[in-house]
Amino acid sequence: MSEVLSRREFLASTAVGLAATTALEIPHPMRPPRPLPPQSRWAAKPVVVSSANGLRAVQKAFDMLMQGADTLDAAIEGVKIQELDPNDDSVGYGGLPNADGVVQLDASCMHGPTKRAGAVGALEGIKTPSEVAKLVLKYTNHIFLVGEGAKRFALQYCFKEEDLLTEHAREVWLHWRANLNPDDDYLDVPEAEHMAVRPTGTINCDCVTPAGDVSSVTTTSGLAFKVPGRVGDSPIVGAGQYTDNDIGAAGSTGRGESNIKVCGGFLTVEHMRRGMKPADACLETLKRVVKLSEARLLDERGRPRFDLKFYAVNKRGEFGAASLFPGRFAVHDGTEAKLMDAAYLYERPAASR
């Protein structure tokens, strides 16, 4: 049979692809959704893993994979649920602001099939930085845009500039500022009304399609009350996430500065390249983190005073996660979206600093 399509066949197939794209509502898709091959011809077990706040993300991404969506399109549409949720104060709209009360968002992504990456840092006024990172990947010869330039880029693609500081996030920031210094001009908020722990939060999502294609994305509002302009590991390709379509993908949540120093996303994928299972690869990267941690970040027993988690999938669809202390992660492995216990290094967390 000839492999050359007739004009009528080409137009018909294009129409089907466009209809599927519209049905899935994927902005700027990496490719139109296409029918899956028979299960007997699948090259991998489809799977989606995410941080524990990504239960809805893994469900959405897995559903899209089963409709033939591209691996990165599925991951991005999954994490956008959290980016658009005002009740998640660690990601996107509603994220806790920096020390000046301004929400600055970071995100990065990698697309295994095309070997491309995109990222944005210190992005203000745009709810879904993961989408902007995908546009950097798809439409530019660059990888990383930051600050005002990243926002102008997003506006050129018709993103809407909005106030990202919700009333809840504003109140939390005002309470933090009031209790920052007992000698400043603000009255301290009663202890019962003020958060004792400085929150961190992020969402990472890694996908494997039935064809064995892999992608990853990490998006965050960063460390609450950070120094303006601070960028953590999330938008740094090789730290907050990393993908090699021949091997797998890995990403992280937690203390970004500690992850940056070990290039944790890349290192975890390299551990898998040498034959480690995903969870073991995550644990090995965490051991490197501890080894490179400064003394001020360790307790008297040598345990970190912070937490960090890694999530990983390999090209076959095997998955795993690990954290410094007991934690959970979200996964859809073809049965259902569920939370699972991650492997960990230490039984109980040390006090935060």
Q: Of the residues 166, 200, 202, 209, which is catalytic?
A: 202
Angle between helices 71-83 and 129-139 (to 10 degrees): 150
End-to-end C-alpha distance for the chain, whole angstroms: 68
The residue among 116, 160, 112 whose CA lies nearest residue 136 is 116
Residue pointed to by tokens 């956008």: 80
Which contacts of 167-173 are long-range, i.e. CB under 8 A and separated by 24 or more positions? 168/86, 168/87, 168/89, 168/94, 169/89, 169/94, 169/95, 169/96, 169/97, 169/103, 170/97, 170/101, 172/89, 172/96, 172/224, 173/96, 173/97, 173/101, 173/224, 173/225
Establish whether 140 is a catalytic residue. no
Catalytic residue positions, numbered: 202
